Structure 1
């Protein structure tokens, strides 16, 4: 039983040493750990998996995704960056531009301005051939989208500085697209994840050593308590740590602390460009990931059995 507990602990933690990292792989692929039943089990996955929303402020969202493989976490991040659709300026018809900014640079800047238009109301562009040429009136779009407020997300994005007498007169066409086609369609400013820090004090650390230990970590990680007249260090909030490994620079401390990360606990940070709220982006990314899984299952079902 003791050996099994040690194996489980080794599986659950990525340990940071002074000069390297142990148990660096974060995969659940069967066979990584000898003598351990690591075959994937749906019931066990459903019991362990959870999503906890930690903080949502404006266009920023922080949530924990626990009980998944690193490949799934990274796939989810990449979908947020490159596959959740948005609307962006695609064509710029320049009628007059007497500013110092060249037409091409102006068009590029306009394309990077986030447009507040729900992409779920629009369809993707199709490949166009001569048979597709047809007349489409624009007058009824007001009736199609009566509650729409299509405009830039921010009103204070500087496009160009104009001298007296200069002007810019352009007509812009917006289309629906995804970030892997062009960065202007990416709906997030940042989408990242990190493993949950795990800090263990291997023995009591007191007085001057406690104060030195507190300075080795990010503010709020180590707390000093007064116990029977002694200053005693304790881990208050390991989540705030950025793993600078400063503690390994002190000979008196480096063997008293174990730095690790929880292998299957991912802290996601998503910051929207403002086109859609971050919680909606997460929901859309989940739908896209589910669609990918369903297409893969359909492909498997279509393979003839020998």
Structure 2
């Protein structure tokens, strides 16, 4: 497994190629980038009592309901460059804005007042003495030179003056919980095209014969040119690099950060999250099962066992299934098993069932196989992380602090002017790719 052909179409987008990898491992990396990397945001989910979790709306004279306003607050990007060390009780975010008499007052994220409660508690001083510059958490966009619009207050005075007052705290989470915590606005991959002329011609002839029912064509004929143009619009995208099994092994990634964490850090952190996820189950053949796992005899005619993983979905299920099939069924790894498959029984239940077939009928053999898969996948993520850090260098760490954002913008703009702008690779049809698993 290795990474190739790094490109930066713009200041927050990276494209690169991942080679010599199974499609499941590429898809697992994609899912971990989308749902496994931590960021900081305002939780604004509704509770059973009708309130919102971490956003308290004390006054709201806007046309929006409290729930809608809290939801807008929850989607604000908060610039915390090392979310793994974030302590949610250290900072208090307060928004208090009154409308103006003769003009519309736009309420923006720059209107937040941020207080460092940890320092205030240590010194015993007034909270006003420990305010943090708002731009540290809500810097202006380099594209608009402005911060996010939250609401608009209409003109008025006295009893008709509109106000907004909100108190919130920011917490750490991942995109698996809610999209507000996703560190990227895009993470996708496509099969790397095979541009070998002979292979393209072979696929064209096969397509023309099977789909268009054309047996022979004169290359100089108009019909041939029509078919060739049609083939090159979409069908040519089916011509991608394949290995000896006829499976794709090379993938072109596009990762676009929302602008808080750098793409090199995001990818590396996704590898670390994957390794930690697998390591948790690396010793289940020797120690007590984690609380989230339940083992029962397979609910089928297969001689084997069902492992119920609570708190997991397709990401872990497809990963373990692929590893077990490649190494313990098709390969020579021990213990040998006769079957490996997984399912998510219900889309609204956060659980996954991994079924392992063992001819011996021993639970210990099934546990040993799952533990071996966990250790193997953890080692794979470790290798992936090492390869990635060697590929991108020292940039596989959190983005620079927001206080230095302006200097970074100027440096990036200077770099962009001095280098030709690379066009992003177009997305292609993925006829054999399952988007969900």
TM-score (norm 1): 0.58
Per the TM alignment, residue 156 of structure 1 is displaced from its structure 2 partner at its CA by 3.5
What is the DSSP-based 3-state SS (H/G/I as helix, E as strand, rest coil) of the residue aligned with 2:117? coil
| Separation of aligned partners in 2, 1:217 and 1:183 | 38
8 Å contact from structure 1 (residues 92, 171) kept in 2 = yes
Q: Which residue of 2 aligns with 1:9?
A: none
How many residues matched?
213
| Superposed displacement of residue 195, structure 1 | 0.8
Query: Partners of 1:153 and 1:87 in 2: how far apart?
Result: 18
Deviation at 1:298, TM superposition (A): 2.7
1:201 to 2:201 alignment: no
Matched, 1:156 2:178: no
How far apart, in 1, do the equivalents of 2:173 and 2:150 lie?
22
Structure 1 position 162, deviation (Å): 2.4
* 1:221 corresponds to: none
Tell me which residue corresponds to 2:234. Answer: 244
Shift in CA distance, 97/53, structure 1 to aligned 2, threshold 3 Å: farther
Q: CA deviation at 1:80?
A: 0.8
Structure with the larger helix share: 2
Paired with 2:227 and 2:120, the residues of 1 have a C-alpha distance of 64
Residue in structure 1 matching 2:270, options 278, 282, 285? 285
> Residues 99 and 160 of structure 1 are in contact (CA less than 8 Å); yes or no, is this contact kept in structure 2?
yes
For 2:117, which of 138, 151, 156 is the aligned residue?
A: 138
Distance 1:170 1:81, change over 3 A: same
Query: Kindly tell me: are residues 208 and 92 of structure 1, through their superposed partners in 2, closer, same or farther at Cα, counting changes over 3 Å?
Result: same
CA distance in 2, matches of 1:51, 1:100: 50
1:64 matched residue in structure 2: 17
CA 192–141 in structure 1, closer or farther in 2 if over 3 Å, else same? farther
Q: Cα 1:183–1:142, aligned 2, differ >3 Å: closer, same or farther?
A: farther
Higher RCO structure (Cα 8 Å, ≥6 apart): 1
Normalised by the length of structure 2, the TM-score is: 0.42
The one of 16, 38, 63 aligned to 1:85: 38
1:209 is displaced (CA, Å) by 9.1
Equivalent residue number for residue 121 of structure 1: 85
Q: CA deviation at 1:93?
A: 1.8
Superposition deviation, residue 87 in structure 1: 0.3
RMSD: 3.8
CA offsets per residue over residues 186-223 of structure 1, 9 Å max, x none?
Answer: 111111111101144346x78989986885577xxxxx
2:7 to 34, 39, 55: 55
Three-state SS of the structure 2 residue aligned to 1:160 is: strand
Query: Over residues 20-53 of structure 1, what are the superposed CA-to-partner deviations in whole Å (9 max), with x where a residue is unaligned?
Result: xxxxxxxxxxxxxxxxxxxxxxxxxxxxx21125
Question: Which blocks of at least 5 consecutive residues in structure 1 are unaligned?
Answer: 1-48, 126-136, 219-242, 249-257
Change (3 A) 1:103 1:70: same
C-alpha distance in 1 between matches for 2:6 and 2:121: 40
Instruction: Flag the structure with higher strand content.
Output: 1
| 1:168 and 2:164 correspond | yes
Residue 272 of structure 1 corresponds to 257
Q: Is the 8 A contact 2:194 2:240 kept in 1?
A: yes
Larger mean CA deviation between 209-218 and 112-121 belongs to 209-218
Structure 1 distance, partners of 2:240, 2:269, is 32
